[in-house]
Structure 1
Amino acid sequence: MTEPIEPPDNADKPHYQGHRKRLRTRFLNDLGASMQDYELLELLLCQTIPRKDVKPLAKDLIARFGGIGGVLSADPDTLMAQSGLNENSVTGLKAVQQAALRLIRRDLDRADLLSSWQAVIDYCRAQMGRESVEQTRLLFLDGRNRLIADEVQHRGTVNHTPLYPREVVKRALELNASALIMVHNHPSGDPTPSRADIDMTVAVRDALARIDIQLHDHIVISRSGHTSLRAEGHI
């Protein structure tokens, strides 16, 4: 009588378990340098979605948000609304984003921001470039142009955010700031300043000048680039 053939030990294991191990091995070989965006995202999702093939989900998210950067910077509520994601996975993705932002900001701490301008632009684009609504961020500087505080003053709509010069002046005095850099984003993707942007910049500049605080620049950030109002001759 023929002995029954025993199935291999891993016969009842889901196919994605071996795939996950291969992903981890590939990542550790070069820390992900050779991996595509969806593979890195898949690896992240594996940490918080343990019993599911997440490759299709990773590819869908990349297509939906236009890349891994778009996924990581998406609003948490928007991510929670995506089929296949849950609170654990959204928390994991946003934690990675926050770690990346802190790594970028490290180059700004204690540096002369006017001598580290590309680092300022990189940080602001990472923070705001993919926001779905406008926000105004103020970088408060000391007398050596080092960062004292980085604060979001207002969040607005898809194409407008209010900013009141008296509030900027009040906060600058509270922080004993010597100078400011204004930053706001254009969710439309076009960083061209509007007439309202220019008028607001002039009003803030003049209000700060009365108390001997300098407005170094107002930067408009978008997904596609940025515009300096000082470089454009508006300050």
Structure 2
Amino acid sequence: MLFIRGTNNRYRVANEEDVIFEAIQIYNRCFSKGEPLTSPEKARDCIKLKLAPFEYEVFACVFLDNQHKVIACDELFRGTIDSASVYPREVVKAALKYNAAALILAHNHPSGIGEPSQADKAITDKLKAALALVDIRVLDHFIIGETVYSFAENGLL
């Protein structure tokens, strides 16, 4: 049984529509332009909400200003059930389009396995190097599976 807070600050039993509405509200707050991503946990939760439902691999970026406020969150590449082609040139183009100072990379693993593959590690290194050439920092790369894996928290960035 799920409970949500009503307008009078009292909790009530939630139905499916209430839960969906609340999820949409959370998602909109997470990626609203100018919303600061103040912690890795907040970024992780927002990105998981965006990428977890997909049955195919999706690669996205959260573009941030120099205060780590959200400029945009874009789904850049779509793939199949077990891979997506990611092109560093396109990521750099998107980051420059938004005039981003930093970004967070993210993709899902529809298999549910949250551990990075060798390909995941290689593309992260390529993207980090390409973006560094134009002074854009990669703050993290999240892999969304049944658990969420953070490259930064695991010392891979």
TM-score (norm 1): 0.58
Name 1:146's counterpart in structure 2: 69
Name 1:206's counterpart in structure 2: 129
Between the aligned partners of 1:171 and 1:30, the Cα distance in structure 2 is 42
Between structures 1 and 2, the one with greater strand share: 2
Query: Which sections of structure 1, spanning at least 5 residues, go unmatched?
Result: 1-27, 34-39, 45-92
Between the aligned partners of 2:25 and 2:41, the Cα distance in structure 1 is 16
Contact 1:105–1:123 (8 Å) recurs in 2? no
Rg larger in structure:
1
Name 1:71's counterpart in structure 2: none
Contact 1:108–1:120 (8 Å) recurs in 2? no
Q: Percent identity?
A: 34
1:33-72 paired onto structure 2 within 5 Å: 40-41=15-16, 44=17
Name 1:164's counterpart in structure 2: 87
- Give 1:99 deviation, angstroms: 5.9
TM-score (norm 2): 0.84
RMSD: 2.2
3-state SS, counterpart of residue 13 of structure 2: coil
Asked if 1:32 corresponds to 2:7, the answer is: no
Q: 1:136 aligns with which of 31, 52, 59?
A: 59
Distance 1:107 1:131, change over 3 A: closer
Between the aligned partners of 2:128 and 2:48, the Cα distance in structure 1 is 23
Name 2:43's counterpart in structure 1: 120
What letter is aligned with 1:32? V
Distance 1:120 1:164, change over 3 A: same
Between the aligned partners of 2:50 and 2:123, the Cα distance in structure 1 is 22
Distance 1:193 1:98, change over 3 A: farther
Q: 1:106 aligns with which of 29, 32, 38?
A: 29
Name 1:188's counterpart in structure 2: 111
